[in-house]
Amino acid sequence: MSHSKLAGIFNKDEKKVDWHDKALWFVRHKRDLSVHQVKGWEELRNLGHGIKAHTLSHLDVYLEQFEANALKNGVQVHWAANGDEHNQIVHSILKADNAKKVVKSKSMLTEECHLNPFLEANDIEVIDTDLGERIVQLAKEKPSHIVLPAIHKNKLEVDELFQEHLGTEPCDGDPQYLTGEARKHLREKFIHADAAITGVNFAIAENGGFVVCTNEGNADMGAHLAPIHIACMGVEKIIPKQEHLGVFLRLLARSATGQPITTYSSHFRKPGKGVKMHIVIVDNGRSKQLSRPDFRASLHCIRCGACMNTCPIYRRSGGHSYDATIPGPIGSILSPGKDLTKYSTLPFASTLCGSCSDVCPVKIDIHTQLYKWRQIIGKETPQPFIKKKSMAAMGKIFSKPSLYGKVGAVARWALRTLPKSLINAWPNIWGKTRDLPVGPKKSFDQWYKERENNKKTDQK
Amino acid sequence: MDSRDTILKKLKANKPEFIALPKINPAVFDENIDKVKEFIRKTEVAGGKVFEVTDNKEVLSKTQEAFPETKVNFSNLDDSGFFNTIDSESFKNPHELNDLDVLVLESTLGVAENGAVWLTDNDIPVRVIPFITKHLVLVLPKENIVPYMHQAYSAINPMDLDYGIFISGPSKTADIEQSLVIGAQGAMSLTVFLK
């Protein structure tokens, strides 16, 4: 389904859309307050961009260095060309130790590879331990935001879900009570887990270590209690040196939620006592994206979600309208690289206002890339009949001033004279939720010329 | 060819021409902040409490004052015998630490700009313990507070680190309608004693 159709579904509940819009704008505002306190913020963004650009230009070398160091640290390293191979690797690790219960902290990569349904089909229980992810998991939905996975759900919906699945008392959506109950529920899962899966925020080539950031502490609760820790990462998560964490950890949380740093920034390097540690390095289309000069900078992304919070389209259409693991502006430049036809409407889900590029902590030119995808999509995928015809007609009208003048006069007359039912009739989708203004008698051109003439008359 | 070689070959073929690595100049970010003041401010913003003390003895007495009713306590400060209700035997099976009430640990590095306190395997008897405890108490010498993350990483040897963690404030979440709730999956409170 197209982005606009799915956005239409989200917009059926107007009150919810208003709340969603305001809640995310508030997060954007917190980001502003936070970054304005940092001296040299722009320099920090330049460094973030520069370090990532350098790393991509040397990616194979750094990955090999990372692998060699991780092996020295006693960590097993696996490589997966695509999502299927990733899932099979994870499954084989679990199977080897007969692990049946898995706790997982936030990892957009495992969402992208559809790991949960794969493991569940193989009789393995997977519990998402980030509260927001647990909520959407219980609702049998997908995260609608990469940092705030359950931002599309209100507290009463969470209340009902917990009553049904965790046996909680009705509480009118009291967040304190519900979080406390989730804590008890997840503690049980952590204590009895056979294996823990985490994502990776940054993997460090020089020492083979990796960093995971959470506010809840769920990644560490899982990874330290279970006898197996599997960390899954995309190839682009690598950074050359530990000192570069100084840049990225300063950028990440401030851009995401306005916090100066997440509560926990965990640096894993050697396995703990009695723990087997595995790292799965995944390509799944990233090497292809690297080959596209116009779009490779999308691989700089550190998954802060700032572009979503600021986007006027995302805030009003909801994350699920993108029908992709990574929604919002950054998702709209990543997804077409994976499947141009399926995601052909996403680059159009933007006003091209450029706010996403302004807040991006690693200075990805998101709105420019959205524009560039539109050029490609216009040529390579079939466009709707009406759009094609109207674009061709517009092209003719705009290229001939005399024709433009005539059409303008007719349009102004029509807007003054014709009934609303006719003006707003299909195929004018603009008229679906708004009225066009009453057509003025004069065109701007006529008005301007008359004004200039009057000025001259006045001067005489 | 296995996936490893295929991926590396593709990345090598598809990567752009070499781009130089920029140098980080920490002086650009320096605002000459009052490190102790800023550390206290940021820890409080993150939901933690900060007290200034003279020695470890005061840490333990103040901790007992703050948590008078707790049953299971552990501190790795010297002379904590009277405070501890469990010993290192308990760490053999970390799953049984689920009823730990108060944990006191000593850190050697803190960051002013975000109130983060650094702990490594050297500072913690077992990795899960700062997360599984109900209340976490950290002791940090004032002179070990650095202004920014850049200075913090200069103080950490990347080749001599098995596991390390920056902790800033107690565990928290805002996943239910963006309402901030302290105490998600990790510690429900954080107290830092500066000495």
Express each pLDDT in A109-136 by its tens digit.
999 999 999 999 999 999 999 999 999 9
Binning pLDDT at 50, 70 and 90, where does residue A460 land?
A: low
Residue from B175, B180, B188, B189 whose CB has the most chain A CBs within 10 Å, to mutate: B175
**Chain A, nearest residue to B153 by Cα:** A243
Which three-class secondary structure state does DSSP give residue B118?
strand
Query: For the residues A240-249, what does the mean pLDDT come to?
Result: 98
Percent of residues, chain A, with pLDDT higher than 70: 100
The pair of structure tokens assigned to A229 is: 């820790």
User: Cβ B186–A220 below 8 Å, yes or no?
Assistant: yes
**Chain B, nearest residue to A299 by Cα:** B15
Alpha carbon of residue A148 to chain centroid: 10
CA–CA separation, A229 and B128 (whole Å) = 13
8 Å CB contact between A218 and A130: yes
Query: For the residues A154-179, what does the mean pLDDT come to?
Result: 97
Question: What pLDDT is recorded for position A286?
Answer: 98
CA–CA separation, A307 and A370 (whole Å) = 13
Percent of residues, chain A, with pLDDT higher than 90: 91
Alpha carbon of residue A202 to chain centroid: 17
Cβ-based neighbours of A108, under 8 Å, separated by 6 or more: A143, A146, A199, A303, A325, A326
From chain B, the residues in CB contact with A178 under 8 A are 176
From chain B, the residues in CB contact with A75 under 8 A are none
Question: What pLDDT is recorded for position A421?
Answer: 85
A427 prior amide bond cis, ω within 30? yes
Q: What is the pLDDT of residues A200-239, one digit of tens each?
A: 999 999 999 999 999 999 999 999 999 999 999 999 999 9
Please count the CA atoms within 13 angstroms of the CA of B49 that sit on its side-chain side.
13
Please give, rounded to a whole number of angstroms, the shortest distance from the CA of B133 to a CA of chain A.
11
DSSP assigned state of B21: P
Q: What is the pLDDT of residues A336-370, one digit of tens each?
A: 999 999 999 999 999 999 999 999 999 999 999 99
**Domains along chain A?**
1-15+25-36+292-383 (1.10.1060), 38-284 (3.40.50.10420), 402-459 (no CATH)
8 Å CB contact between A129 and A221: yes
The partner residue sitting opposite A221, judged by closest CB among B9, B128, B183, is B128
DSSP H or E stretch at residue B164: strand B163-167
pLDDT reading at A459 higher than 90: no
Cβ-based neighbours of B122, under 8 Å, separated by 6 or more: none
- What ipTM did this prediction achieve? 0.98
Domain ranges of chain B: 31-194
Please give, rounded to a whole number of angstroms, the shortest distance from the CA of B179 to a CA of chain A.
7
CB–CB contacts below 8 A, A to B:
255
Q: What is the pLDDT of residues A161-173, one digit of tens each?
A: 999 999 999 999 9
Question: What pLDDT is recorded for position A427?
Answer: 73
User: Cβ B186–A221 below 8 Å, yes or no?
Assistant: yes
Query: For the residues A310-335, what does the mean pLDDT come to?
Result: 97
Which three-class secondary structure state does DSSP give residue B78?
coil
Q: What is the pLDDT of residues A281-319, one digit of tens each?
A: 999 999 999 999 999 999 999 999 999 999 999 999 999
User: Cβ B179–A245 below 8 Å, yes or no?
Assistant: no
CA–CA distance from B94 to each of A126, B124, B133, B145 (Å)? 22, 12, 11, 31
Q: Residue A209: name the closest of A234, A241, A179, A235 by CA.
A: A241
Binning pLDDT at 50, 70 and 90, where does residue A250 land?
A: very high
CATH class of this structure's domain B31-194: alpha beta
Q: What is the pLDDT of residues A36-54, one digit of tens each?
A: 999 999 999 999 999 999 9
User: Cβ A283–B7 below 8 Å, yes or no?
Assistant: yes
pLDDT reading at A242 higher than 70: yes
Question: What pLDDT is recorded for position A422?
Answer: 85
Residue from A179, A187, A268, A296 whose CB has the most chain B CBs within 10 Å, to mutate: A179
CA–CA separation, B176 and B170 (whole Å) = 18
The residue ranking higher by pLDDT, A426 or B191, is B191
Question: Which residues 103-142 in chain A show a CB within 8 A of chain B?
Answer: 129-132, 135
Please give, rounded to a whole number of angstroms, the shortest distance from the CA of A1 to a CA of chain B.
28
Burial label for A134, CB within 10 Å (0-12, 13-18, 19+), is buried
- The phi, psi pair for B110, rounded to 5°, reads -135, 160
Please give, rounded to a whole number of angstroms, the shortest distance from the CA of B188 to a CA of chain A.
10
From chain A, the residues in CB contact with B128 under 8 A are 220-221, 224-225
Question: Which residues 271-290 in chain A show a CB within 8 A of chain B?
Answer: 272-273, 281, 283, 287-288, 290
8 Å CB contact between A137 and A106: no
Query: For the residues A441-455, what does the mean pLDDT come to?
Result: 92
Residue B102 pairs in a beta bridge with B73, B135
Question: What pLDDT is recorded for position B1?
Answer: 63
A240 touches chain B (CB under 8 A): yes
8 Å CB contact between A315 and A18: no
User: Cβ B167–A179 below 8 Å, yes or no?
Assistant: no
Residue segments in chain B with a per-residue pLDDT below the cut of 50? none
A72 touches chain B (CB under 8 A): no
| Average pLDDT over chain A, rounded to an integer | 96
User: Cβ A51–B156 below 8 Å, yes or no?
Assistant: no
A35 touches chain B (CB under 8 A): no
Question: What pLDDT is recorded for position A435?
Answer: 84
Question: What pLDDT is recorded for position A383?
Answer: 83
Q: What single letter denotes the amino acid at residue B182?
A: I
Please give, rounded to a whole number of angstroms, the shortest distance from the CA of A113 to a CA of chain B.
16
The partner residue sitting opposite A148, judged by closest CB among B8, B126, B175, is B175
Pairing of β B73-75 and β A264-268: unpaired
